[in-house]
Amino acid sequence: MNTRFFKKIYLLPKWLLELFSWGKSFRNNPIIGSYWLNRCGLHVARVVIAHGLFRFRLLLLSPLVPAEDRRQFREQGFVLKHNFLPRADFEKLAQELQSYQGDVREFVEGTTLTQRVFITADERARMPAMKALIENPHLDRLTRYCSSKNRRPLYYVENLCNHANVAPRPDPQRDMHADTFHPCVKGWLYLDDVDDGNGPFIYVPKSHRLSWRRLKWEYRQSLEACKHGDKRQSGRYWDGSFRVSDCELAAMGFVPKIFRVPANTLVVANVHGFHCRGEAKQQSHRMTVWMQARDNPFNPLFTFWPESTARLFEWGWGKVLRRLDGARLASGEQRNFGGKFSR
């Protein structure tokens, strides 16, 4: 009893800091996961404040991108651009990434094998086409604006191998969900044509906006998460990412959009909006340049990340990835390192 008490006192500052950051676990943080605090509106208050600050930062960064891109992102929750790169540049990039050999992380979710490479400065030095993409002014300004943080996102190369194995658990990415309680951004530049055969990205337009129906849904989910924790139960929760059913989407007036798109299409989406990985009808693969930007949602201004500190940040994030690798291996999750992408 005394040990548990002192452990709580020791962890209290961490729990409080998480409350004012991107912390989202209802199971690991008793403040975020307090039923009575959430009954009084704690989760909804965090959602509303984070969204208000996000919109304020977007306003400050509006000169970075054309009005049409701003309108589409604000209204629909995503920006879609076909033929993003000139054909010659895209072919060089696709050939460079498809022939890549290096430190490829592999992990299994259900029947999906995901292969991923974190693009550090060292990787960029030996990948000229990838370096040119990252330094593309149009892409740089668009991701800085959509993330609302005025910094470059983290870049990866990702290859999804569908129906690569038989697993007892389903792929959680195929459940319709919101990544977290606050606006954050992911992007994909598709290196392959995407259709029902290799599992298209599915997004629910306008679901990123705080309508009254969405707020009521967030409130109900927060109370359910307090009761059950955020372990995946009945297909609803996974690490603080709320799952949503087809009936709930219909009740909120939402209709999903399936992104069946050709290669060289760029999608940048606010993944507080509902989305999922579409079911692949056959054994197949889908390769993308994957971008992610997630920072403290309660920072009223930007993330000041000078380019001179980028290597230090990448080193720190690499340490986090290795720690996550160890935790997943300890939990029995299938994970290893390959030398090249599967095709």
- Mean pLDDT score across all residues of the chain: 86
Poorest-pLDDT segment among 87-101, 156-170, 203-217, 277-291: 156-170
Strand 335-340 with 154-162, pairing: unpaired
How far is residue 93's CA from residue 111's CA, in Å, rounded to a whole number?
Answer: 28
Q: What is the CA radius of gyration of the chain?
A: 20
**Distance separating alpha carbons of residues 226 and 33, to the nearest angstrom:** 5
Residue among 228, 240, 263 at smallest CA distance from 94: 263
pLDDT at site 233: 46
- Distance, C-alpha 236 to centroid of its chain: 18
Residue 10: the pLDDT is 66
Q: Which sign, positive or negative, has the C-alpha torsion 282, 285, 288, 291?
A: positive
Cα 334–Cα 338–Cα 342 angle in degrees, nearest 5: 95
- In 3D, which of 106, 137, 67, 142 has the Cα closest to residue 338? 106
Contacts of 322 (CB under 8 A, 6+ apart): none
**Spatial distance between the Cα atoms of 14 and 85, rounded to a whole number of angstroms:** 44
pLDDT digits (tens, 9 = 90+) for 183-222: 999 999 999 999 999 999 999 999 999 999 999 999 999 9
Residue 65's Cβ-count burial label (10 Å; 0-12, 13-18, 19+) is buried
Which of these ranges, 5-19, 24-38, 64-78, 135-149, has the smallest mean pLDDT? 5-19
pLDDT of residue 330: 46
- The mean per-residue pLDDT over the stretch 133-150 comes to 94
Angle between helices 137-147 and 67-76 (to 10 degrees): 40
What's the confidence (pLDDT) of residue 304? 57
Cβ(151)–Cβ(303) under 8 Å?
yes
Q: Torsion angle of alpha carbons 301, 212, 79, 314, nearest 10°?
A: 40
**pLDDT category, 328, cuts 50, 70, 90?**
low
314 vs 159, which has greater pLDDT? 159
Percentage with pLDDT > 70 across the chain: 82
Question: Which residues are within 8 A (CB) of 25 and not within 5 positions of it... i.e. 6 or more apart?
Answer: 32, 33, 230, 239, 240
CA–CA separation, 176 vs 183, rounded Å? Answer: 16
Residues 6+ apart with CB under 8 A from 303: 149, 150, 151, 295, 296
C-alpha to C-alpha distance for 103 and 136, rounded to whole angstroms? 25
3-state secondary structure of 330: helix
Q: Are 240 and 230 in contact (CB under 8 A)?
A: yes
- In terms of C-beta density within 10 A (0-12 exposed, 13-18 middle, 19 or more buried), how is residue 127 classed? buried
Averaged pLDDT for residues 315-331: 62
